[in-house]
Structure 1
Amino acid sequence: MTAGTSGGYEFGDGIPINPISSGSTVLVAGPALSRAEGLARTLVADGSPAREGMLFISTNMTAEKLLNACRETRTPFDDSRMGVIDCSGQDLGNSALGDRVKYVSTQSDLTGIGMKFSALYEGLYGSVEGGRVRTGLISLSSLSMYVDLRALFQFAQTVSGRIDSAGGLGVFAIDPTTHDTKAVNTLSQVADGRIEVRESDNGANDGELRVRGLPDQPSGWLPFTLSE
């Protein structure tokens, strides 16, 4: 793990991001062919070795597939402090996580997602040392196909506000190529900073990232690797 500042959330050796302050939410932005969503998942899965809570709002991947993806990038992966809100509408009830998965049948039900998020977050917050919980919302772009921009902004703002007040870490994935500039700028307002992702020219790693808007971070594009 990266050497951390006091209270910051740290990441695995393959990810060139310095610790991010508690209470922060970051937007991970990249096109579909990049590894932006994979990076967002891994930033949350890095809570496993730190014995932190990990909560996912998963819009396009079942809880079981999400769990397997975390296991592939972070080995060994301890899922005992992991919760998932499965909005994929597939394979209901078919996850090894048991009652730590809450199902929402449609992505348009932001009220239902929000209620289940609050319940799972409260449970994880009380079960880990210092109430340290990482939240991954993957993805805003998927939700935007079911609800209007105003509703999505209010939902993301509510989730980000809860993370801020609890001293957690929020990681929201977005594909900026599927939105107009106004929508991207609006949704960016819920985050403290942005991690941009692009494909690598030489294919020697999983891609390149650049951190914007967060203090004490490296500058420029840097290669990253998801598997340790």
Structure 2
Amino acid sequence: MKKRLSAIILMLAVFTSGAFAANAYQKSITVNYDVNLEINGRVPQLTDVNGKAVKPFTYDGTTYVPIRAVAEEMGAYVGYDSASGTAIVFQDDVEAMYTAYSIGEASRKLQWAVENTLQCCELYNTNDMSRSDFMSTVKSIADDATVAANDAKEKYGSAVDNQNIYIEDIDLCMSELTSELNTANSFFEYAGNFANSKSSSDLAKLFSARNEIVINEKAVKAVDSFMQTMW
């Protein structure tokens, strides 16, 4: 099924709205219920979370609409963070694509980390890099990849919490990334062993783990496949 093309444009936009409600106050106002609402060519039946009818109104030249009713009418998820007093709106297709994009970026970061670590191994093996430089450089590379992976995990967790309708597609992408992360953890453990041994067997383990992540590219392929279905 073709999905909304506008999601591509919005993919990198911030789709969570709201701010901390500092210095909240109450004010009595007079509003006018003299405005009708039409969404995508039809007049919606707007209701609150309890099913009670709600209406838009105007005040001081501005039209106000009930955010939950309108957002849900347009296919979005609406939540509320009571700790910060923030109303949160998630459009499923935008959230799904943004999550998938983050997973793909995390996978590419892992590939980059693995390839750069192997280059360091070659320099260390030929004594063109000291052991301390090798260890600190590999740690920095691994930490950089970990940041991207944690970002993808956080976005995936939000999509799950929001009951995103595309969650099964994102599940597959995340499953492949999780597998790559497990392999990467072993890879960096092998790199630590290689720092102590410089043995050919430890180097062989590094290349085997590298092939599983870089050659297969399962997470990136899963993300690309999902993105194509959204066109």
Task: Pick the structure with greater CA Rg.
Answer: 2
Flag whether TM exceeds 0.5 (same fold): no
TM norm structure 2:
0.27
Higher strand proportion, which one? 1
